[in-house]
Structure 1
Amino acid sequence: MAEEETELSEEQRKEIAKWFLLNAPAGEIQYVAKDLKSVLNDDDVYNEAASEAFPVYNKSHMICLEMPGRFGDVLVTSYGELQDNDYLDPKTAQVAIVDHVKQVCTEVRPATDEELPSPYIEEYRCALDAEMSKYVGEAYPKGFCSVYCTNGKDAEGPGSDFELVVVISAARLSPQNFCNGSWRSIWNIEFKDDIQILELKGKLQVGAHYFEEGNVQLDARHECKDSTLFQSPDDSAVSIATIIRHHETEYLASLEASYLNLPDTTFKDLRRKLPVTRTLFPWHNTSQFSLTREISKELGIGK
């Protein structure tokens, strides 16, 4: 006798809904949410799952939202999160209030002095922001960047260590063509005054989703480290931007090279070493095979 099916509790359904929302590819969470709402057919469960999942998703994907009042754009990241739904945009010294589920910025207010770094730190942050904006504008046409001070923001002058974080977020969304993609990179820069060294740690993540008559996803991650001399704000900014440009360009080149080698490596390994015919597949000369010719031969078409 078949076992009776047990009905899922509201908590279980909420957790399952959250999993689907959190694992939605870049730019597709609203589509997933629409389908989930229809499948759940329970507004209370959906609203609870959405209220918990959307903030996490938005911050992990570092989405960019337009601020009202022509203030520009704000990146939704954990580095700029002040409280609840308030996110700092260091470039404009504005705080955006965000509706996570609707993924819109509802209002803007000026940042307070306590929410901003000291003039000494701001000089370094502003110089680096300018250099990174220049780089991102050249490398990522659909990209945005922001520079935050995450440690030692109250330092008033030389002699103190502090830390800046560079966040780069770029998305290429084309659902009408069944493909979406994103680039996310986070660079932690530790300014160590005692040894006059800047230490950089980078985390790069590339995602892509192709879903025309199928479902293929890419989720590539890479970490790297580097260092340079602690110099003036402008010189430090140039050095940091040069290092970031080098590592990101190098990583993109390695991804392109791996794609070019896919037919000779990954795809080849997916195939049987010895197929049913017991003969190795001639990868060096595939032009001798014609599916149409073989089928015609087998079925006697054209005779």
Structure 2
Amino acid sequence: MDPAQRSQAISRFLLQSPPGEINDVLNDVRNIISDDESLEEIVHPALKEYNLAQFIVADVPGADHNSIVSDAARVNGEDDRFLDPRSKTSFRFDHISLETSEPEVVEPDAESEPFRVALESSVLTYLAAHFHDGTASVFADPQSSTRFIVQIVANKYNPVNFWSGRWRSEYVVDLDAKTVAGRILLNVHYYEQGNVQLETSHQSSITFPPTITPSNPSGSASKLLALIADQERAYQESLSDTYHEMGEKTFKGLRRALPLTRQKLDWDRVLGYKLGAELSASKGVFGGGS
């Protein structure tokens, strides 16, 4: 395998890593490459792509909360500097160590900030009510004072019981168009005595009433979050129904309900047959019987 093919293969492995397991994949790759300097050159672009796509959570310097690292959080003109609008701080992020540094104060857009803050407050309330361990960030679109991006991520890692999962959702709120364009991405990995991954996505589009306006930030933000909550609840219920049906119908259809004889096996009799056969064999070996 030439260097270009090797680099592409390693990148694919990293980008397909299940939630919370990318370090395990990276360590396996390191054992194959056996050259940390070459490895860093190969994996850095892949790790950056992975982190941005997966809404990796970063510690905000000087703050008591986390923020999402994503394309929406990227500070214009700087490749590895990201914004935490909640603390009005930007920071540099290392995609390999996942550490933050060099915090700087950022002045928000005065026109969009009141609605962004109201939307952030409603999102955080929703997060606390519905996600056990989640992080959310609300960004103002630098190109429009009436456009906002809501991002939510929740991670659950349980290696002791061999599973991990990640929920990501993103909503683009456009107050001029009166629309919310949303997407939900879900990854779950079960790997006890096997290797099963679920990766699914859902797109949504909401048209909201003209009563939701920038002139009423608090009330409008609360109404928007109610619409988003309805979308996420409906999607979770549809997933639950789908997998219940799979368990009741699809998986049962993959195996025979009865053997070819159309009769259930009597396992007690089977064990009796086995015991009788062993006794007969013993009599033959030891010369027993009449």
Match of 1:106 in 2: 101
- State how 1:24-43 maps to structure 2 within 5 Å: 24-43=17-36
Match of 2:92 in 1: 97
8 A Cα contact 1:14 1:48, kept in partner: no
Match of 1:284 in 2: none
What's the secondary structure of 1:263's corresponding residue? helix
8 A Cα contact 1:191 1:199, kept in partner: yes
- State how 1:65-214 maps to structure 2 within 5 Å: 65-82=58-75, 83-111=78-106, 113=107, 116=108, 118-153=109-144, 155=145, 162-192=146-176, 198-214=178-194
Q: Which runs of 5+ in 2 are unaligned?
A: 280-290
Which one of 268, 274, 277 corresponds to residue 260 of structure 2? 277
What's the secondary structure of 1:261's corresponding residue? helix
8 A Cα contact 1:17 1:46, kept in partner: no
| Deviation, structure 1 residue 258 | 1.8
8 A Cα contact 2:63 2:87, kept in partner: no
| Deviation, structure 1 residue 189 | 1.0
Structure 1 49/275 Cα, relative in aligned 2: closer, same or farther at 3 Å?
farther
**TM-score, length-scaled by structure 1:** 0.83
Match of 2:9 in 1: 16
What's the secondary structure of 1:214's corresponding residue? coil
Structure 1 69/264 Cα, relative in aligned 2: closer, same or farther at 3 Å?
same
Q: Deviations over 1:227-280 (max 9, x none)?
A: 2133221121011100011110111111112222222222123336x987175x
Q: Deviations over 1:11-54 (max 9, x none)?
A: 11111111101110111111110110011223343112211111
16-25 or 64-73, larger mean C-alpha shift: 64-73
Amino acid in the other structure paired with 1:177: N
| Deviation, structure 1 residue 89 | 0.5
| Deviation, structure 1 residue 9 | 1.0
8 A Cα contact 2:67 2:136, kept in partner: no
Which one of 30, 38, 59 corresponds to residue 52 of structure 2? 59
- State how 1:184-263 maps to structure 2 within 5 Å: 184-192=168-176, 198-228=178-208, 229=210, 230-231=212-213, 232-263=216-247
Larger gyration radius, structure 1 or structure 2: 2
Structure 1 298/239 Cα, relative in aligned 2: closer, same or farther at 3 Å?
farther
| Deviation, structure 1 residue 65 | 1.4
Q: Deviations over 1:186-209 (max 9, x none)?
A: 1011111xxxx5201110011111
**TM-score, length-scaled by structure 2:** 0.86
Match of 2:43 in 1: 50
| Deviation, structure 1 residue 73 | 1.3
8 A Cα contact 1:151 1:164, kept in partner: no
Identity %: 26
8 A Cα contact 2:60 2:84, kept in partner: no
Structure 1 277/57 Cα, relative in aligned 2: closer, same or farther at 3 Å?
same
